[in-house]
Structure formats: C-alpha cells, structure tokens
Amino acid sequence: MSLSDEVNVLRRIPLFAGIEPARLKLLAFSSERVSFQPNDTLCSQGEAADDAFVIINGEAEVLVDIDGHAVVVATLQRNALVGEMSILCDSGRTATVRAINTVDVLKITKDVFVRLIGESPAMAIEIMRLLAQRLQDTTHELTRARSQLNQLKGIE
Amino acid sequence: MEHSIFRYVWNHSKLAQIWLFAVVIASMPFYFIALELPKRIVNDPIIGNAFSGGATTNYFSFTFALPQMLSGAVLLDFPGFEFSRGSLLFTLIGILSLMVCAEGLMKFYLNNYKGRLGERMLRRLRYQLFDRLLRFPSQHFKRTKASELSTIIKDEVEPLGGFIGDAFVQPFFLGSRALTALLFIMLQNFWLGLVAMFIVALQAIIIPQLRRKLITLGKQRQLAARALAGQIGETFDNISEIHVHDTSNFERARIVSQLGKIFLIRFRIYQRKFFIKFLNNYISQITPMLFYGIGGYLAITGRFDIGQLLAVIAAYKDLPGPIKEIIDWDQRRLDVQVKYETIIDQFNLDNLIPPERQTLSKTAPDSLKGTIEAAALTITDEAGTTLVEQVSFSLQSNKTYAFYGNTNSGADCCGEALICMLSPTNGKLTIDGNEINTIPEAFFGRDLIYVSNETALIDGSILDNIIYGLRNRPVQPYVPKPDEAAAIAKQHFEAYASGNPNLDIRDDWLDLSATNSNSIDELIEQIITALKIVELDRDIYRFGLFRTLDHNIDPIVPQRLLEARKALYHRLKGSELDGLIAPFDPDLYNSQASISENLLFGVATGPSLAPQNLAENAYFIHILDEAELTSILLELGQQFATTIVELSTDLAADHPFFNNLVFMTPDQISELKPLLARYNQDQPNPHKNADRYALLWLAFNYIESRHRMELVDDALQQQIVTARRNFAAQLPAELTDKIEFYDPKAYISNASVQDNILFGRIEHRIANAAARVEVMMREILDELSLDRDIFSIGLQHDVGTGGRSLNMAQRQKIGLTRALIKNPRMLIINHPLSSTEANACHNIMQRIQALRAKNKPEGGMIIVTARETIANLADTVLVFDAGRLVETGAPQHLAQTGAAYRNLAGLNNTN
C-alpha cells in the first residue's frame, strides 16, 4: 500500500475529514507503517503514550483491566483511529489494544499529531466536538447510574 | 637539578667535552698551515724568493740538532727535495688543498659529534623533566596547566639541545681560531696585530653590554609563550562551557591581548638585536680599511712584502668570522641560560615524591597485612582551609567501611589521604605501622586500589584501559628476532648514554600476578565477569556488534560469524517471524534498501564509490546508461523531488517529516524547488549537469518501503537487479578494491559484525522488529558460544581522547572494572558510580561485595559515599561532618541512635 492509499484511508476518518489533502499526505509521509502479528499488543494500559494508530487493515480489540481481569470493551476495524486522546493529555494508555489478526497500522507520533492540530483549526474544533460528545455521553451514563443506585437504595 | 646550564652540561658530559677539546686542538695545526701556505705560494714559487736566480731549489729542507749545551750535534739533516718553480707551485697548492680537506673532515667529525652530544643531552633533560612530572606531589597539579608543562618539555627545551653540543667547545674552537689568526698576524707585523686585537677587544666589551636587556626580554617572551599555550589548552578543556555561555568573544579578547603582549616583546627583541648587529658589522668593516691603509703603506715603503700583506688580509678576513660567531654564541648562551632557568624554576620543587617510592621492583611488593590507622589526622589545603580535622580511626583490612558524608564533610579527603593524594598536615596516617608518605607506590598499586569517580582514560581501546592498572612492571623481557637484535642493543645503549632508564616498552608489561588468572584468555573471562557485575556488559556487547573486525583478527572469528548468519536465517524460516529481515539476495530487489544500495550490492571501501560520489562516477553512470536506467532514475528523482517540495513547503525545520530525509541537509532540500523550476525549462541551463547529478543522487537514496511513493515497480526492480549484475561483471580493475560485494557465503570485512550476521535489512514495517531481531541474534550467538567473541570485539572499542566517546557512567564503570580485576586487598571507591541511578548503583555494589567475598575473602573495602543505601552495605559506617568524624558504628545501630547519621539519611524528617 502506498502513500496515496494511506491518504485515502486517513480521509475516511472523521477527525481528519476537514483537512486538506496535502496535509494528509504530509501526515502519512511523516508517519510509519507498522504491521502487527495476531496477539501482538499495539499498546498496553498504563504505558506512556507516544503514538496514535490508524488501522489500515485487520482488526484489533480494546481491553481494559478490571480487577485484574482483562475485559474486551470494543473491537476496532479498518479506518479506526485509536490512542489519540492519551497522547493529548500525557496520561498513559487508558486501555490495551491487541491485534486479533494481522493488523497494519499507520503510526502517528505525538509530535506530528500535535503539530497537525496546531496547523488545522478544523481539526482542533473536531477534537473539541468529539471530547464534548464523549463528556456528554459520560454524563448521561453517570446520571443513569446514579438514579439506578438510588432506586436500589430505595428498595433496600 | 643544576641551576646553571653550564654546570648541568659539564656534569653530564665531562668526558665528551674534553674529547671535543682534544679534537679541536688537533685540528689547529692544519688551520695554521692552511694560513701559512698562501703566503709561501706567492713569495716562493710565484715571486721566486726561494730560487735566488737559479732554476731549481731544494725545498722542505730542515736540520734537527741537539741544543748547543748538549754538544749541538746534528741528529738529522734533511736536504729537502729539488723543485723547479712550476713544480713547487703545484706541490704547494696540492699540500694546501690536502690541508683544507683535512681541516674540513675534522670539522665534519666535530659537528656530528656535537650534534649527537646535544641530542643526547636534550633527551636526558626531557626525560628528567618528565620524571619529575611523575614525582610532582598531587596537589601541585591543581595549579599547573597541562598545556604549559607540555610546551616546556616539548618546545622550550628544544633550543637547548642545539646549544649543548656547542656550550664549551664552540667558544674554545672559535677562540683558538681567532687566536691562531691573531698570532699569525702578529708574527707578520706586530702593529697590525695590535690593531686587530684592539678592535676585537672593543667588540668583545661593547656588544655583551648591549645584550643585557635582551636577557630580561627573553625571559618575558618565554613566559608569555607559555601562557599562550596554557590559554589554548584551557580553551580546549572548556570548549563546551564557552559555547554554552557564549563567551567565545571574551576568549577572543583574551587571546588578542596575549598575542599583543607577545608581539610587543618579540618586536623589542628584534629592534635591539638588529641594532647590535648593525654596530657589530660596522666595526668589522672598519678594520680592513685600517689594514689596507697601514699594510699598504708598509708595503709601498718596502718594509712589508706583498705576499705578507695578502696573507695578513686573508688571516684578518678569517678573524671577524670567529669573532662574530663567538658573539653569536654568547647571544645563544644568554638565550639558553634564560630558558634553562625558567624551565628549571618550574620543575625544582622542594616536595617532590622521593624516587625510592617509585623504584621499579622486579617482584610484587609486600601485601597489606593488618590495619590502616589515623591518629588526630588534620589536613589543610594551600589556602589554609581545614579539610579534615582531628580525625582518628582504625580500619581492619578485612572489613567493609563506609565514609559517609556530604561534599566538604571531609569523607572524600580522608579517602584521598589514604592513597597519598592529600598529605597530612598534622597527625599521623599509618598503614601496618608505616607512615603513609614513606610507603612505596607499588604497594598502593597492588593492595590499596583507589577508584576515583572522575575516571581518567588513556587513548586506546576499552581493553587497554581496563588492563592499564596491570602495567606495573615488565614481567617478561622482549625476545628480539635475530635481525633486530643489533638495532635493539643500539637503542638500549643510546638510552643509557642519555641517562634514560633501561625500561623497554616492547617487554611484556602485563602483570597477571595480581589477578586471579594465568593467561590472557582467563583474564578476558574475568573482565567479562566484572563487566557483568558493573552492568557494562550490554554496552560492550553492543559495541562488539557495531564494530568492524580488525584486520589482524583470528580468521576463525569471521567463519564462526557466518555460521551465526546461517543459524539466524534457519531460525527465521518457518517461524512466524519470517520476513523480519529482508536479506541481501543477489537475484532480488531489496525494498528496505535504497536504489543505489541495490545497484552497488556491496560496501564501498573508498571514496570513489561512496554514496555521495556515485552520481559522478563515470563507470557507475555508464552501467546505468547501458541498462537504460538513467532517464528512468532521472524521472524518478524528479517525482521524488516534486513530492518533497510539495510537502515541505512552509514546514518548520524540526518537523518530523524531515526524519525520513536524513540523507539531505536543509539547504539541499530548499535547493530542490529552484532546481525543479530550472530543470523543466527548455532554455539552456548552465546548471544542467549539476542538476542532473542532484536528481540522480536523490533517486539513488529513494527507499521504497520508507518513502512509499510507488516509484519502484516490478519492472524497474528487475532492471536494477540486471544492472547490478552488469556492474559487478564489468567492474574495471581500478575499482576492484573500492567495493566489497555482498556474498551470502562470505564475510564482509568492511561491514560491522551485526550487519554481517543479519546480512540484510530489518523489516521496520513489522512491529518491534529491531528489538526482536536483537533478541534472536543474542540467542543464536549464545548458543554458538560466540558471545565471548562479541565481548572481546567490543572491548576493542576506542574510548576516544580522554574517553570522550563514552558517557560518564560508562567511564566510571570502566574505572571500577580496572580495579576489580586487580583484586586488591583493600578497595577504596570514591562515590561509586555517581553517574548511575541510585538503585542500580546499590545492586552493583552488592554484587561487587559478593564477588570480593568470593575472590578475596581476606580483603576489605572503603566506600566514600553520600548515599545512605550504599553506606548501609558496610560493616561499619564512619559519619563525617564539617571535616570531623562525628559517629562510628554499624549502620543498623546508627540508624537508631546516630543523630548525624539520621540527619544525613533524612530519617529525622520522616518522623
């Protein structure tokens, strides 16, 4: 797969949708193509986060450690972007990502990603939108969980 | 050392000087005869005085008779030979030429002899200065600049050598020549002789007077030049500080002022010198006029014959020469005396280490038996600051101690005092009851090894540095080959004649007796063990992998490495990691490698086929043309350039984008845009050729797997592989030694060990490829028992000047290894591995303790440290504060009750 194919993949990712093709080409060129064997880990929970991954081929699962057990919380398909949030807040990986079959990714380094945000207001806004969306979702879930908790307390 | 250079020269070369006198005296008659003959030639055969009218005469007749009081009997009456005027003329000329030749030969011999004498004295002086340098007390180095001392030993003594041969004999030789000439003139005419003498005396009195001032100037010049050398050395040492603090212009100002001083001094010297020269010349030129006047008048009035006059003038002509040279000699004498005194001042210290303490002992010294004791030890530095005050302790040589304290606590200074790097000002420091200042250094070098935290490294390999500590004495004299025995004997004699000791660098200086090993192989084994203990093994292993084998390596090693290559590919095949390495296959295009690497398919061994010169190599271009690749690659280069220009516009210079273009400089990248614009025009382009080179070069560096622009399709790959074959097949003779081709069955002697094992490029597209390859390679090397060879190769890694190619932690670990293999009774470590992180350092020290317990159960350690975890490893901790020893005890005990200990360890804060 060549640079132009990679650009096509990047274009399908919502976060990069508003970015001009030349910038995406630069993004692809500055990033590294890496392939993972089945069961290889792309990143591990708790580790320092240096890169985000765009899945170009294959599938990967997202695992979260709950009380010492790894629980699969999501499966990632082609064109998915993963790990971009951890590199923004320097917090370490919030989950482990493991290859299900052979997975080809485009590895975007933190430096490249942050520069891209700086250069592209559209992308910055898109990220804010995504974050706001996630916050909203989390708030919803929290509210629901609280009311459920109250109900349970009421039953007792 | 002698304060006057004459005394020095006389003391060390009496016999040679006397011999020189003898030779000079023996040459005098020849000189006198050479003066006498011209007069005779003119008078006797030419004017005919000896012939008194006859056609022939008896010449060379003489009688030898006893004095009148002893009967006056004639013992010998030689009638002489009969000569005609013509034959006498040519006989006399023949004798004259023989005399001139004999005199010249003697001069030749003299000059050679003097030259050798001077060089020997120079060698002796240099050696003595260096010997003194080795005996300087440690403190002295704190206020001496290395570059100043080196300029003294190297440059300042140099003119002394030239002078030493002449010191006595030159004035004697010239003086006697002048006297002979004067005597000759006097014999001819007393008054003329007197005139000549008067003028000589005038010169001899006035000129030295004028030169007094030159002495002072000479001294100033020497000190200024020394300061210049010192400043250059200092600049060199501080270069990073200069850059960091932007003081380069201040340094320039300093050097300008220094150069100004030197200029002024030198110019004054010139002014004075040339004035003296003028005066001297003037006086000498006045004299012949007097001679012509007086002598001419005497000749005209018939009281003096013309032959005599000519001879006198000839003699006088010879007179100014020696006089002038004596004056020059005097000038050099002044110069050299000043130089010598200035040099000696620097090296005549009162507190030199006595030579007995450094005497070479052929056998290992006595070993440490019992205790190290300090009684009211006080140390002050030169400024009078108290470093250590009234410290008393008694250390057993089989226990581990920690000198625990912060900087300036006195712990460091006590450690340094134990090996004489600081001398006690008051109190006593004894080892086995002997005053520390009287113990030979050999004892310390064997049984009381000190490891500084500022490890100094010598130029050479890591191995050279580790075994440096074993070079205490020659253990095996060098056995000369039959054809060099004579030359070596001569070298030894010369060393003896120059007062150098008979130490020979060719001897085997590796004293294994201190180590636990009996052979070099065992020693290497021990070094590897020690390196593992100090955790330097991984670094050394890596150095080994990245190293190109030396030419003199055992040929079995490359053979074994080829086995490793085979084993690696065997293992990769069939495993899930197949494809981790893209091998160099003669029939396949390697997409991990650049186009030029694919074309060359080998390692360039010289500049002609080096990557940066390929585009201009006629043969290489010829091969491309033949394969019809040139236009394709130009096209490819253009596309590559276009993409780079497109992507790099407006990018900051540090954008990660450029990481993929490491082969280009930022300037080259910014050049691409105008280049493309020019290149695509139809107009004549003066840069056409250069542009073509640039585009081709760009294409050569294109790596499909990295740049991913789909510029290399299958057809092009095939074409390149074909061109590769042609390139090798038609390689002209003059290029055969400029490239080493990849051959799956052969070792590439110009590539690193790792490149040889991998024999291909790591497929970076596979996650963690490099790490996986490394693990697998190590496994295979271990299985083939090649790990030891890799270590040995890694030990050959060059440490750079002063160890600059290694980091501080690595240098400290080498210093520690150097001490560990000596296996001393007592090991003193000053701030062990201060550049290594505390936890790792603690683990290393624990392992060192275990090693020592195994190899030297009767031995002990003293660890100077400010780290609590390290101090706790000791049996007994001595806590220092403000120069005093404040607490002593077991670490567990001190942790409970020791106030100073708890303070230092920060235990009080947590409570």
The predicted complex's ipTM stands at 0.81
Cβ proximity of A105 and A42 under 8 Å: yes
Q: Would you say residue B209 has pLDDT above 70?
A: yes
Q: Measuring CA to CA, which residue among B731, B716, B741, B697 is closest to residue B622?
A: B731
CA–CA gap between residue B612 and residue B842 (Å, rounded): 49
Report the pLDDT value the prediction gives residue B828, as an integer from 0 to 100. 92
CA–CA gap between residue B803 and residue B28 (Å, rounded): 60
Cβ-defined contact of A26 to B576 (cutoff 8 Å) = no
pLDDT digits (tens, 9 = 90+) for B551-591: 888 889 999 999 999 999 898 887 777 788 889 999 999 98
Q: Measuring CA to CA, which residue among B874, B879, B850, B846 is closest to residue B861?
A: B874
**Three-state secondary structure call for residue B495:** helix
The token pair that represents A146 in the structure block: 């609280």
Q: Would you say residue A6 has pLDDT above 50?
A: yes
Q: Are strands B826-830 and A51-57 parallel, antiparallel or unpaired?
A: unpaired
Which residue of chain A is at minimal alpha-carbon distance from B578? A37
Q: Would you say residue B364 has pLDDT above 70?
A: no
Cβ proximity of B451 and B831 under 8 Å: no
Mean pLDDT for the stretch of residues B307-313? 75
Which of A4, A29, A40 is facing B660, going by the closest CB pair? A29
CA–CA gap between residue B771 and residue B779 (Å, rounded): 12
Q: Would you say residue A156 has pLDDT above 70?
A: no
Question: Structure pTM?
Answer: 0.76
Q: Exposure of B218 by Cβ count < 10 A (0-12 exposed, 13-18 middle, 19+ buried)? A: buried
| SS3 of chain A: helix, strand, coil, percent, to 5 | 45, 30, 25
B657 Cβ partners below 8 Å, 6+ apart? A26, A29, A30, B647, B648, B651
Mean pLDDT for the stretch of residues B426-449? 87
Q: With contacts defined as CB-CB under 8 Å, which chain B residues touch A55?
A: none
Strand partners, B793: none
Q: Exposure of B131 by Cβ count < 10 A (0-12 exposed, 13-18 middle, 19+ buried)? A: middle
Query: Residue B368 gets which letter from DSSP?
Result: P
User: Minimal Cα–Cα distance from A14 to chain B, Å?
Assistant: 22
Query: Residue B51 gets which letter from DSSP?
Result: T
Q: Would you say residue B717 has pLDDT above 90?
A: yes
The token pair that represents B471 in the structure block: 């070079």
**Three-state secondary structure call for residue B337:** helix
Mean pLDDT for the stretch of residues B8-31? 86
User: Minimal Cα–Cα distance from B647 to chain A, Å?
Assistant: 6
Report the pLDDT value the prediction gives residue B264, as an integer from 0 to 100. 93
The whole-chain average pLDDT of chain A stands at 86
pLDDT digits (tens, 9 = 90+) for B473-491: 888 888 888 888 889 989 9
Letter string b/e over residues B468-502, b meaning 16 or more CB atoms within 10 A of that residue's CB: ebbebbbbeeeeeeeeeeeeeeeeeeebeebebee
Q: Would you say residue B910 has pLDDT above 60?
A: no
**Three-state secondary structure call for residue B652:** coil
Cβ-defined contact of A22 to B647 (cutoff 8 Å) = yes
Q: How far is CA B395 from CA A135, B375, B399, B418, B878, in A?
A: 68, 12, 8, 11, 10
Residue A145's pLDDT band (boundaries 50, 70, 90)?
Answer: very high
pLDDT: which is higher, B53 or A15: A15
Cβ-defined contact of A34 to B709 (cutoff 8 Å) = no
CA–CA gap between residue B389 and residue B412 (Å, rounded): 13
Query: Residue B378 gets which letter from DSSP?
Result: E
**Three-state secondary structure call for residue B265:** helix
The percent of residues above 70 in pLDDT, for chain B, comes to: 98
On the CB side of B537, how many CA atoms lie within 13 Å of its CA? 17
Which residue of chain B is at minimal alpha-carbon distance from A36? B767
CA–CA gap between residue B31 and residue B181 (Å, rounded): 9
B742 Cβ partners below 8 Å, 6+ apart? B584, B586, B601, B602, B603, B748, B759
Q: DSSP per residue over B710-775, as a string?
A: ----HHHHHHHHHHHHHHHHT--GGGGGGEEE--TTS--TTSBHHHHHH-EEE-TTBTTHHHHHHH
Report the pLDDT value the prediction gives residue B140, as an integer from 0 to 100. 82
Cβ-defined contact of B766 to A34 (cutoff 8 Å) = yes
Cβ proximity of B360 and B25 under 8 Å: no
A151 Cβ partners below 8 Å, 6+ apart? none
The percent of residues above 90 in pLDDT, for chain B, comes to: 26
Cβ-defined contact of B767 to A35 (cutoff 8 Å) = yes
Q: How far is CA B853 from CA B371, B824, B848, B860, in A?
A: 19, 12, 8, 9
Residue A90's pLDDT band (boundaries 50, 70, 90)?
Answer: confident
Cβ-defined contact of B767 to A109 (cutoff 8 Å) = no
Which of B647, B765, B768 is facing A29, going by the closest CB pair? B647
Strand partners, B497: none
Residue B911's pLDDT band (boundaries 50, 70, 90)?
Answer: very low
Q: Would you say residue B628 has pLDDT above 80?
A: yes
Query: Residue B802: how many CB atoms within 10 A of its CB?
Result: 13
Q: With contacts defined as CB-CB under 8 Å, which chain B residues touch A42?
A: 767
Mean pLDDT for the stretch of residues B822-848? 88
The whole-chain average pLDDT of chain B stands at 86
Cβ-defined contact of A2 to B710 (cutoff 8 Å) = yes
Which region, left, alpha or beta, applies to residue B887 given φ > 0 means left and ψ of -120 to 50 means alpha?
beta
Q: Exposure of B283 by Cβ count < 10 A (0-12 exposed, 13-18 middle, 19+ buried)? A: middle
Kind plus residue range of the DSSP H or E element containing B582: strand B581-583
Which of B655, B710, B767 is facing A40, going by the closest CB pair? B767
Cβ-defined contact of A33 to B576 (cutoff 8 Å) = no
Residue with tokens 């004892």: B443
Query: Residue B174 gets which letter from DSSP?
Result: H
The total number of residues shown for chain B amounts to: 911
> Lowest mean pLDDT: which of B232-236, B296-300, B870-874?
B296-300
Report the pLDDT value the prediction gives residue B909, as an integer from 0 to 100. 59
CA–CA gap between residue B193 and residue B466 (Å, rounded): 75
Q: Would you say residue B698 has pLDDT above 80?
A: yes
Q: How far is CA B525 from CA B511, B528, B782, in A?
A: 16, 5, 15
Q: What is the dihedral of CA B824, B826, B830, B833, to 10 degrees?
A: 50
Q: Is A37 on the interface with B (CB under 8 A)?
A: yes
User: Minimal Cα–Cα distance from B708 to chain A, Å?
Assistant: 5
**Three-state secondary structure call for residue B827:** strand
Report the pLDDT value the prediction gives residue B77, as an integer from 0 to 100. 77
Cβ-defined contact of B710 to A40 (cutoff 8 Å) = no
Which of B643, B647, B765 is facing A35, going by the closest CB pair? B765
CA–CA gap between residue B201 and residue B192 (Å, rounded): 14
Residue B320's pLDDT band (boundaries 50, 70, 90)?
Answer: low
Interface residues from chain B to A (CB-CB < 8 Å): 576, 643, 646-647, 651-652, 655-657, 659-660, 705, 707-710, 764-768
Query: Residue B771: how many CB atoms within 10 A of its CB?
Result: 10
CA–CA gap between residue B822 and residue B143 (Å, rounded): 31
Cβ proximity of B218 and B335 under 8 Å: yes
CA–CA gap between residue B911 and residue B908 (Å, rounded): 6
Q: Are strands B74-78 and B62-65 parallel, antiparallel or unpaired?
A: antiparallel
Q: How far is CA B326 from CA A25, A129, B6, B178, B579, in A?
A: 86, 99, 16, 10, 86
Cβ-defined contact of A26 to B709 (cutoff 8 Å) = no
Q: With contacts defined as CB-CB under 8 Å, which chain B residues touch A32?
A: 764
Mean pLDDT for the stretch of residues B182-210? 78
On the CB side of B725, how many CA atoms lie within 13 Å of its CA? 11
User: Minimal Cα–Cα distance from A138 to chain B, Å?
Assistant: 34
Which region, left, alpha or beta, applies to residue B302 given φ > 0 means left and ψ of -120 to 50 means alpha?
left
Give the distance from CA B289 to its chain's centroid: 57
Q: With contacts defined as CB-CB under 8 Å, which chain A residues touch B646?
A: 22, 25
Mean pLDDT for the stretch of residues B226-245? 88
Cβ-defined contact of B656 to A112 (cutoff 8 Å) = yes
Q: With contacts defined as CB-CB under 8 Å, which chain A residues touch B660?
A: 29-30
Most confidently predicted of B164-168, B236-240, B362-366: B236-240
Cβ proximity of B377 and B424 under 8 Å: yes
Angle at B838 between CA B834 and CA B839, to 5 degrees: 145
Letter string b/e over residues B338-359, b meaning 16 or more CB atoms within 10 A of that residue's CB: bbbbbbbebbeeeebbeeebee
Q: With contacts defined as CB-CB under 8 Å, which chain B residues touch A109?
A: 656
